[in-house]
């Protein structure tokens, strides 16, 4: 596992999307997205399809777990530093 600091992730925010599924917010590296992945495509997925997508395109959890208060704060910092937000929920 690669070591990274919070400051480094925030500084690299433009290379992430923050996925907001209505329950959780989490960062996904743009390089980990698959061809054809867009906010609209993911929003149109069924629950099962979204679950499969989450397994195939993992959240970057090197610092915090999805749902942790620190992850919520990190995502907000990343948005303020240039990460796109995909509202998929």
pLDDT digits (tens, 9 = 90+) for 7-64: 999 999 999 999 999 999 999 999 999 999 999 999 999 999 999 999 999 899 999 9
Full residue range of the structural domain in which residue 40 is found? 6-87
64 within domain boundaries = yes
H or E segment and range at residue 26: strand 25-29
The residue whose two tokens read 């399809």 is 49
pLDDT for 2 equals 63
1 within domain boundaries = no
51 within domain boundaries = yes
pTM comes to 0.93
63 within domain boundaries = yes
Compute CA 13 distance to the chain's CA centroid, rounded to the nearest angstrom: 11
Tokens of 85: 């937000």
What is the number of domains present in the chain?
1
């Amino acid at each position: 596992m690669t070591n990274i600091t919070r400051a480094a992730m925030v500084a690299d925010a433009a290379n992430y999307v923050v996925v907001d599924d209505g329950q959780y917010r989490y960062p996904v590296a743009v390089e980990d997205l698959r061809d054809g992945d867009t906010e609209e495509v993911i929003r149109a997925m069924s629950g099962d399809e979204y679950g499969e997508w989450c397994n195939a395109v993992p959240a970057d959890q090197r610092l915090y777990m999805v749902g942790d208060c620190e992850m919520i704060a990190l995502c907000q910092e990343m948005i303020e530093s240039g990460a796109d937000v995909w509202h998929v929920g």
